[in-house]
Structure 1
């Protein structure tokens, strides 16, 4: 049995939250589908890149809005597309959007949702693998948002927080070292923080739901389709190599591959303990402060060299 799935089996009310913001919450949909078929209650949340002050949703906290199908028509609004898609399937799942902030406001937002819905387990979901960044990697992708979410959720719920990352290889487009990701995973295995890995399998109800959601979002937001979600969807459909589902990646070499459909899972607190600047991030109020701390740390530190995977 996979430890991550054992933890979900023991859960009853689960918050599935996008770790890196934007479309990340979409990669939690297969997990949510699995949970709901088992009779679990699920709530969605997302660190949002949308201007939530204009979203038309119900403001339920200082930096938290509840989003449903009636939210405003904004060009970039993954949380609304998710709510619409759930409504089309008659799945009335509460969906929340967190305004971009530093760790302290986001931790307070997590606490409010956890208390409101009596959540016993939080699953942070990452499209890609740049959530597993300790601070000395040669490339960190879009690590600011992931770091904010990891530290904030840890502040709010500690050992009740799990991390699931899917899309191995997609962050190559953003300069992430997958050698470093595997090295970090090995460190977490030694720490006891690795909770196993498993496939999102073609033809399963969970995979079909994800593909349908990605197709729906592409229709709703044709000018800015998700690179990560479309890459994972391409891998699920059996595409391979330099395959481009969207012209947003034109001019770049992609490596669509079957490993993109694997969930890599971790105890979130173990990741935070390895994050060298986590204690400094915990005191931040703005995302800009987090970026500054990470940038200053990397400028003053010896980084690991970029190494290819020797396969």
Structure 2
């Protein structure tokens, strides 16, 4: 038995794995990176980033897009650089790019196109920690979807053979007011649209699962100023923790619900998801992220939002 997502991966040769929502999203792509590398595929990485690039000495390859390498400045917050270091410690070398979280769809699309051309990419895999990227726009709560939407709509306009999405951490975005009843309804809609490519679990015994857990530990040790809530929640779930299991001080004062669903990857056709985004056309020609945020807010003000419902389990 196999799922269409892995068939699509088998059909590609040169991949770009990109984190859509900023911060640590690219960490969710590392298990896929490790899987592809064992298949002998060429893999480049990128991430929408909150890093302060004016302090990094990184080469700017296009407006708001930077090439990260091991010679980049050693900042307390710089997940892209630390991921490169970790990969290098395992004998892996990958090109890593980072996008400013201030640019809109048009410059971000140009940055994606530049990387695709440089590395002759045939397959894009956008990755998200959490599931708030699976937003159509009329949900009762949409989490931190602005950066995700900008990345997805920008990447969907780049000419490649395949554009895919993978997200891990179902339930984590409850912390950001995502309604998971609406999330499951969206997945059902995408199944009807033939845009759903299947789901799979990351386990602690897999080569890729062990790598993910090692990377999360490495980032926790080296980026003590800001631990990732999402990656630590997924790691806790993979280890078999349950309920209000606290790892980072960033979640103190809140009650977590760590559970096995958080280790599950959901996968989709990127164009299929973008076609369901009601605000996609409105933000298509933006140049700054602030524009994206304002236009999504405007869309929601003028839309009839779904009722907030609980999952009846």
* Normalised-by-shorter TM-score class: over 0.9
Contact 1:69 1:87 in 2 (8 A): no
- Secondary structure of the 1:17 match is strand
- Matched residues in 2 for 1:74 and 1:299: separation? 40
Matching residue of 1:228: 230
Q: How does 1:243-258 map to 2 (within 5 A)?
A: 243-258=245-260
Q: Which runs of 5+ in 1 are unaligned?
A: none
**3-state DSSP of counterpart to 1:42:** strand
Aligned to 1:181: 183
Which residue matches 1:72? 73
- Pick from 147, 150, 171: which aligns with 1:148? 150
- Partner of 2:281, secondary structure, is helix
Q: Aligned-pair distance for 1:158?
A: 6.3
SS at match of 1:22: coil
8 Å CA contact 2:47–2:97 kept in 1: the answer is: yes
Structure 2 counterpart of 1:22: 23
Question: Alignment length, in residue pairs?
Answer: 311
Matches within 5 A, 1:89-100: 89-100=90-101
Conserved? CA contact 2:17–2:43, under 8 Å = yes
The structural deviation recorded for 1:60 is 2.0
For 1:118-267, what aligned pairs fall within 5 Å after superposition? 118-157=120-159, 160-267=162-269
CA distance in 2, matches of 1:66, 1:129: 27
- Measured after TM superposition, the shift of residue 159 of structure 1 is 6.1
SS of 1:164 mapped into structure 2? strand
- Unpaired runs of at least 5, structure 2: none
Determine if contact 1:200/1:206 at 8 Å carries over to the other structure.
Answer: yes
Q: Give the TM-score taking structure 2 as reference length.
A: 0.97
> What SS is found at the alignment partner of 1:307?
coil
Counterpart of 2:219 in 1: which secondary structure? helix
Q: Distance in 1 between matches of 2:51 and 2:242?
A: 32
Structure 2 CA distance, aligned partners of 1:166 and 1:25? 11
CA distance in 2 between counterparts of 1:68 and 1:237 reads: 31
CA distance in 2, matches of 1:158, 1:43: 14
TM-score of the superposed pair, with normalisation by structure 1:
0.98
Give 1:61 deviation, angstroms.
2.1
Whole-angstrom CA distance in 2 between matches of 1:288 and 1:81: 28
Provide the alpha-carbon RMSD of the alignment.
Answer: 1.0
Q: CA deviation at 1:174?
A: 1.0
The CA deviation at 1:107 is: 0.3
CA distance in structure 2 between the aligned counterparts of 1:60 and 1:143, rounded to whole angstroms: 26
SS in 1 for 2:106: helix
What is the Cα deviation at residue 65 of structure 1? Answer: 1.2
Aligned twin of 2:105: 103
Describe the superposition over 1:27-57 as per-residue Cα deviations: whole angstroms up to 9, x where unpaired.
Answer: 1000010000000000000011112122112
